[in-house]
């Protein structure tokens, strides 16, 4: 395998790992819309 191909695969792997980490972080911080309380209850908190 050529050196440039190895570099490409390494960069692509790092990029995919970063994207998966961002996606996981976003999914942990958000809630499903059906699970939210009604608006007046959230404002009172």
- pLDDT score of 33 more than 90: no
Quote the number of domains for the chain. 1
42 Cβ contact partners less than 8 Å away, ≥ 6 residues apart: 36
Q: Is a pLDDT exceeding 70 seen at residue 27?
A: yes
Averaged pLDDT for residues 16-40: 82
pTM of the model: 0.62
pLDDT beyond 60 at 6:
yes
* Share of residues in the chain with pLDDT > 90 (%): 56
What's the domain range around 33? 3-44
**3-state SS string for 1-45:** CCHHHHHHHHHHHHHHHHHHHHHHHHHHHCCCHHHCCCHHHHHHC
């Amino acid at each position: 395998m050529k050196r440039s191909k190895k570099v490409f695969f390494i960069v692509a792997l790092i990029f995919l790992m970063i994207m998966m980490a961002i996606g996981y972080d976003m999914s942990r911080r958000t809630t499903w819309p059906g699970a939210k309380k009604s608006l007046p209850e959230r404002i009172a908190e």
